[in-house]
Amino acid sequence: MTRPITLASGQFGDMSLEALCKMTSEIGYQGLELATHAHFDVARALEDPGYIPQIKSVLAAHNLNCYAISAHLTGQCVGDVWDPRLDNFAPAELSGNPEEIRKWAVQEMIRTVKAAHQMGVKVITCFTGSPIWAWWYSYPQTTPQMIEDGFQLIYDLWTPIFDMFDQYDIKFALEVHPTEIAFDYYSTQMLLKKFKYRKTLGINYDPSHLVWQGVNELAFLREFADRIYHVHVKDVKMNRNEKAGILGSHLEFGDTRRGWNFVSVGHGDVDFDGIIRELNQMGYDGPLSVEWEDSGMKRELGAAESFEYINQMNFTPSNIAFDAALKAE
């Protein structure tokens, strides 16, 4: 089973596409997951007839493909409750205007679908935002109706967007992630049920966000096997001690006092061997997209190390049982 290994471009947004492609290709990657806030300009894709051919030309010159478009920042603005941090994800002229930011985000997601179609990409990885994330700890008390209303709002906001996904035969791959409406096993189950298991809606599987919460990354993958539309390869290192809890302690990522940190692939506690075996069993042959998020390691080294690690781990299943020959004639 040949799965392409790609690199998520979002964390390399300060590099030109040409420079990123050169580095990526030299390491050995087969493609890029292009982020709309970094290396894939939705407006230019829709308005400049030469833009997408130019993107494809740069990729092809380095023997790279694009298997997915990332629209995480736009998606966050669709379903989130505004606070000043959200201004960083929307056009500057909309800063401080929650209603206009949401209106922009809904339309921008629809435009992103059209741009992905023109690019020939069939999967958009994304966030949804969440109107109820701040209520994850039920104090002051959170009622079941408040939770239901939150899921209903996500349903109302995203249904017309998903209609556009269907029109262009593109899949939505939600990264199950804290701050999103679906952040663990049960909330993912609730979201899929809310959308009546609509085929459009699937998962961008990133095990790092599950492991630090205490969710078994293999059980999650097995349960939602038919919804895995894209895979992020990212690791997390647990560092539980007598001072640090899992909530982060308001310490910045990379601070070694934290209870956990995202680390380059192979430096943490994610069971990638088990993940590859599950992906083999379910027949997933899509990309494995390395997402570098390691504040403690130079990113070029992290990208290279991560590729080497997952490339070795990206094995093909056997087509015979190990004991098939152990029988008498």
What is the Cα–Cα distance from 188 to 281, expressed in whole angstroms?
22
Could you give all domains of the chain from N- to C-terminal order, each with its CATH number?
A: 5-318 (3.20.20.150)
| Rg over CA atoms, the chain | 20
Which residues of the chain, if any, have pLDDT below 50? none
How distant is the alpha carbon of residue 111 from its chain centre? 19
Q: Per residue in 135-179, pLDDT tens?
A: 999 999 999 999 999 999 999 999 999 999 999 999 999 999 999
Q: Per residue in 263-311, pLDDT tens?
A: 999 999 999 999 999 999 999 999 999 999 999 999 999 999 999 999 9
What is the Cα–Cα distance from 28 to 122, expressed in whole angstroms?
23
**DSSP 8-class letter at 315:** P
What is the Cα–Cα distance from 140 to 147, expressed in whole angstroms?
14
What is the Cα–Cα distance from 236 to 217, expressed in whole angstroms?
12
The model's pTM is 0.97
Report the DSSP beta bridge partners of residue 253.
Answer: none
Helix, strand, coil percentages in the chain from 3-state DSSP, rounded to 5: 45, 15, 40
What's the confidence (pLDDT) of residue 70? Answer: 98
